[in-house]
Structure 1
Amino acid sequence: MASAHGHGSWHSRGKREVATTTPIKHLVVIFQENVSFDHYFATYPDAANTDGTTFTAAAHTPAVDNLANAGLLTGNPNANDPQRLGPDQAVTCDQDHGYSAEQKAFNGGLMNLFVENTSRDACGSPLYGAPGLTMDYYDGNTVTALWNYAQHYAMSDNSYSTTFGPSTPGALNLVSGQTHGVTARTPDGAPTSDSYAVVSPDANGVGTVINDPDPYFDDCANKNGERSYNLAVMHGRNVGDLLDAKGVTWGWFQGGFRPTTPYDASAGSTAVCGATSTNVAGVSSLDYSAHHEPFQYYESTANPHHLPPTSVAMIGRTDQANHQYDMSDFDAALAAGNLPAVSFLKAPAYQDGHAAYSDPLDEQNFLVKQINAIQTSRFWSSTAIVVLYDDSDGWYDHVAAQILNGSNDPANDSAICTDAAASVGVAGGYQDRCGPGTRQPLLVISPFSKTNYVDHAQTEQASVLRLIEDNWRLGRIGDASADARAGSLLGMLEFHHGRAPRVLLNADGSVAHHDGHGDGRGDGHDSVGRS
């Protein structure tokens, strides 16, 4: 990270913070679910304005690599042309987003077999379905908040999952750049083998995660014990270990993490995460999803019994909560002036953007609430917010990444990965980590963001990990982690010339308040390309 010197500062409680290599003192990572770039930005910045919230782009908005600019809205090489989804079609069928299904949809980089391999067209009322649903997209009349954040801050049109596959690999890659190192246990803790939890195991049963097994170190796994599936344990280090080693405050905050029935050691009972919410279509779901919580896979950073922090003042510091918290703890810490240096936010399920049980409208409510709260706090001047996604859900996207790590497991890998194994190799010799995989949105919202700017450098989920490592001088994860190869997010930031304006949004994603016009950094005269 380019800096001639560290940027130290004094904490309000009198303790000196760990020096950073940039003026960013607080990084907030909002990690959402299951959206491809084209699914949300296929026609950006042009919205139909036939329904939903009106959106009009600023003059000189830069072009992005999307379906409209690639001429793929009609005459698409897939079996169906993409269709616009309106806000009345916000809650849709979930698509197939398996590690192998996504590779097959890519068809060696031709990007033309999505309908055959990832589309799930019918799932029953009240969810919306249609033939070739995987091809379809929203515009700024539905995902208005994200389009407005892109207008006033910085976004990438070339950012990807670190590997192909669903939620758990994405979450693990965010915090460790590593999906290898998993073993399986029974719910009672006995070591076992399990072809869903562990693929390509070695003689000791250590392999790779490509699916969504729940974490072993979590009372609320297996849907609060209602199921009896084998569970996963990750070995090795994650960014929480690195942050702890340097004394940097941090936390993972997730909706529904606070148990409805607390752990009771004297009674021998486990915690139960029973909170539920209902999305705009009336579909109810549990707020907490255990396989979306990456730190619960590692014994060193888990809070198995979902214990609360001992006080608001201890949020971000090591106590019985072990840095794993409910979303309400983030709200309390922010309000109390105790924002950790690094915060990961995971919405309750109905607001995380995942098709079927969530949707872009409920997701937007969560994003606006949390980002407005940060922007109106005293921490805004030293904060960067990164919004990104765990996987694409299998939604169509027309761009394939430059593959940086191959895999040649005949049970799971297609040509795009086996060819890469021959050309760029298999990092660490660990199979089933092919990537980068699918393209997803990534935005940086900060007073340090370039404004109305599109970055074309290839980045990935592990780029966020690398930003954290570099800003707080943590060192690398090691063991063939993707952090070492991940592209930089610094191209979206500017630390030396002025500041981006503070832009607050309404719940429908429209602009409620704008501090000014900023200084014109990233003035929109950037063209589509690759760097």
Structure 2
Amino acid sequence: MAMYYLSQRCNKFYLRVSLAACAGAVALAFATLPARVAAAGDEHPSGTQTPIKHVIVVVGENRTFDHVFGTYRPHHGQLVWNLLSQGIVNADGSPGPNFKRAQQYEAQLIGPTEFDLAPSNKTAYGTLPAPNTGGTPSAASDASPPPFATHDAAELAEGDAVEATDIDQLLTGASGLPKDVEDSRVANYNALLNGPYLLQPPLYDAYMGGPVHRFYQAWQQSDCAVSHATRENPSGCLGDLFAWVETSIGAGSNGKPQPTPFTDQTTGEGSNALGFYNVNNGDMPYFTQLARQYTMSDNYHQPVMGGTGANSIMIGAADAYYYTDGNGHAATPSSDQIENPNPLAGTNNWYTQDGYSGGSYSNCSDSSQPGVGPIRRYLKSLQYDARPNCAPKHYYLLNNYNPGYNGDGTVVDRTKSPFTIPPSPVRTIGDTLLDRQIPWKYYGEGWRSFISDPSKSVYCNICNPFLYETSIMTNQQVRETHLADLPDLYADISSGNLPAVSFVKPGGLLDGHPTSSKFGLYEAFVRKLVDAVRSDPKLWASTAIFITTDEGGGYYDSGYIQPIDFFGDGPRIPMIAVSKYSTGGRISHGYADHASLVKFIERNWGLSPITRRSRDNLPNPVQFSDNPYVPVNAPAIGDLFDLFDFHRRGSDDHEGVKGRPRNDGGDSGGKGWWPF
């Protein structure tokens, strides 16, 4: 019955594929389903299905794949989907022969009207709106960094997190410009051609204004409609409204109507989303080195449309959190905290209720709720079963709200901090690991200072999916054992006590966020960690380090988006797997998102899915060589095993591994890379 069901999904979604090929793909999908726990006496006595005894997940901030690797050229014989390979740009970052593939449009959506997921009344820009400095720091200061004014202050703050040679990166990059003005540091900022533009040196070492990355804005920027669909892009997500959404609504209206037409001066944004870096100019040097030495995915996605909070939650729960009464029961938030992206009367797309100080929940089970109907109708129109996955009368958190717990386990007083989600009853991978007595920790830089004084900490509270959860935060022993600081990470590595599963989050100065950090600082943070693991041969032989970002930060990406449910997926983001079993500079095309991290852990340790509704229940993708980015058994996400080759001993060969055939298809089942 299961084989028949998957065959029907395959045939319905990919009508031009032969039945024989589809049947073979279906058989392959079953062959690669997660294995169960190893029995005593198996090859790996610890109970793991592979030589990997330690998984480290490192999460930076706010960059898409094309924003980072848009001009990356892989080793000979490898393929990558990016701005360069699609001819959108040339190797030097200039417009390529297919530049128009990424052109942006402005729409006319005069309220009052319903939120429009894919406006039909749109016109191509002549030149893009000028990028904006937003909240970029204007000058260095030790009193309110970043950046710091003196080396001593920077070293005191971050000397334990990066090597001494990287400290001075914390002293540079201030804009020298006011906030919320056109960013004249960008070449031709007031006459940008309509498409992605190069952030030329020295902007890699600069703090920049960030694009909007909120839920309904991200859906609208993606411009998804089945009427847009092609065989190459069956979901019909065009990604051609980035600049318009930035300048028409930006990061939120807070319910305050503004005059029309809107400009980047109104929203504090411009075409910031279209900027990208060039690895051929020396940008992203360390991550480029890792990509050439290990395995990189060019089909790894943020799981939720929008920002840090909801996407970080998915790393732990493979699901979304919802508003409760504080005792674990679904409840209804106050009206000022419910999203309403319907445009206000007389405005071109200025949302009725949205913003960082209001509007973060939607009851997505009810199509009559603002913004919900258009997304549900779109999901229903797809040629596969993309269910909304919204429980009745549950208001799901879509954007950034504080977790319901303080670091000491006490409940946050929401009368003083109203934009806080109440304590969550949703299970996480932390609960699964606790049940099986598998050691794990969440190492967040600044954790200790966050407990004592959150206002003086670089700790990212919304990034920790376990800080929201009642079962973990109300148990003192669990909190003290499994929630840790960055010095604890290096102490555990040094003493040989690194747990089986580690989640690692840099603080706000080092996480790579474009406005409050720089990507070079995130690279420096990762390099110190990777070097520490590699310096211990025994640890290195049994460790997989997954390096990614929480989400794309609102930046443009040219990759395929697979709608899975109401929440996403969203654009591609970077993912590099660093291990002695992932060497060779290979590019994996297997479709994945943050729930894939959970699936990897579950498969490696033989664990069941977190809950019946969490995304780790989805099958591994089946992908064909003539369209290797699109799962034909959608919705499907991989378990990241395709990033490794556990049949060989592993090496640090920079030029690739010889003697094993690569899978030219979707990398969901290449014989040279699947271990079983």
Match of 1:520 in 2: 658
Answer yes or no: is the 8 Å Cα contact 2:590–2:667 preserved in 1.
Answer: yes
Q: 8 Å contact 2:583–2:656 — kept in the other structure?
A: no
Scaled by the length of structure 2, the TM-score of the pair is 0.59
1:226-241 to structure 2, matched below 5 A, reads: 227-241=417-431
Aligned counterpart in structure 2 of residue 85 of structure 1, from 199, 203, 212: 199
Task: For residue 210 of structure 2, give the secondary structure of its aligned residue in structure 1.
Answer: coil
Q: 2:413 and 2:664 mapped to 1: Cα distance?
A: 47
Provide the residue aligned with 1:117 in structure 2.
245
Tell me the residue number matched to 1:6: 38
Render the CA deviation track for 1:34-80: whole Å, top value 9, x for unaligned.
111100010002xxxxxxxxxxx7x5162310011112223332243
1:354-390 deviation line (CA, Å, top 9, x unaligned): 1200111111110111111111123110000011221
RMSD, aligned α-carbons:
3.4
Structure 2 CA distance for aligned equivalents of residues 69 and 451 of structure 1: 20
CA distance in 1, matches of 2:413, 2:521: 23
Corresponding residue to 1:199 among 352, 357, 362:
362
What is the aligned counterpart of 2:78 among 62, 73, 82?
Answer: 62
State the distance in 2 between where 1:4 and 1:259 align: 40
Aligned counterpart, 1:144: 285
- The 1:293/1:67 distance shift into structure 2, 3 A limit, reads same
Q: CA deviation at 1:110?
A: 1.6
1:380-395, aligned counterparts within 5 Å?
380-395=540-555
2:606 corresponds to: 473
Query: 1:162 corresponds to which residue?
Result: 303
Deviation at 1:492, TM superposition (A): 1.1
CA spacing shift, 1:516–1:142, aligned 2, 3 Å:
closer
Matched, 1:443 2:576: yes
> Can you list the C-alpha shifts for 1:459-494, whole angstroms capped at 9, x where unaligned?
111000111111112211124111111312111100
The answer to whether the 8 A contact 1:455-1:492 is kept is yes
User: How far does the alpha carbon of each residue in 1:341-360 deviate from its partner, in whole angstroms, 9 at most, with x for none?
Assistant: 00000001111111200111
Pair 1:358–1:61, CA change in 2 (3 A): farther
Distance in 1 of aligned mates of 2:438 and 2:207: 39
**What is the CA distance between 1:2 and its match in structure 2?**
6.4
Once the two structures are superposed, the pairs formed by residues 335-354 of structure 1 within 5 Å of their partners are 335-354=494-513
Structure 2 gaps of 5+ residues are 1-32, 90-94, 105-124, 126-193, 225-236, 251-262, 339-358, 366-390, 619-636, 669-676
Distance 2:429 2:554 in 1: 28
- My pick for the range that moved more, 30-39 or 211-220, is 211-220
Instruction: Determine the C-alpha separation between the residues in 1 that align with 2:39 and 2:58.
Output: 24
Distance 1:175 1:384 in 2: 18
Letter in 2 for 1:257: W
Within 5 A, what are the aligned runs for 1:59-458?
Answer: 60=76, 62-73=78-89, 74=95, 75-76=99-100, 77-78=103-104, 79=125, 80-89=194-203, 90-108=206-224, 109-118=237-246, 132-140=271-279, 141-183=282-324, 193=334, 194-195=337-338, 196-200=359-363, 206-219=394-407, 227-259=417-449, 271-275=452-456, 286-302=457-473, 319-377=478-536, 378-405=538-565, 407=566, 433=567, 435-458=568-591
Please say which structure displays the higher CA radius of gyration.
2
Q: Distance in 2 between matches of 1:9 and 1:375?
A: 29
1:200-250, Cα deviation, whole Å (9 max, x unpaired):
188997421111110011259989998543433322210000000001000
**Secondary structure of 2:84 counterpart:** helix
What's the offset of the Cα at 1:81? 2.1
What is the SS of the residue equivalent to 1:444?
Answer: strand
Indicate if the aligned counterparts of 1:453 and 1:526 stay in contact, CA closer than 8 A: no
Which secondary structure state, in structure 2, belongs to the residue aligned with residue 388 of structure 1?
strand
Tell me, yes or no, if structure 1 residue 33 matches structure 2 residue 61: yes
The 1:224/1:521 distance shift into structure 2, 3 A limit, reads farther
Deviation at 1:134, TM superposition (A): 1.1
- The answer (yes or no) to whether the contact 2:583–2:654 under 8 Å persists in 1 is no
Shift in Å, 1:31: 1.3
- In the alignment, residue 578 of structure 2 is paired with which amino acid? I
Look up the SS of the partner of 2:361 in the other structure.
coil
Cα separation, 2, equivalents of 1:130 and 1:231: 28
* CA shift in 2, pair 1:137/1:494, >3 Å: same
CA shift for structure 1 position 122: 7.0
Of 452, 459, 467, which residue of structure 1 is paired with 2:592?
459
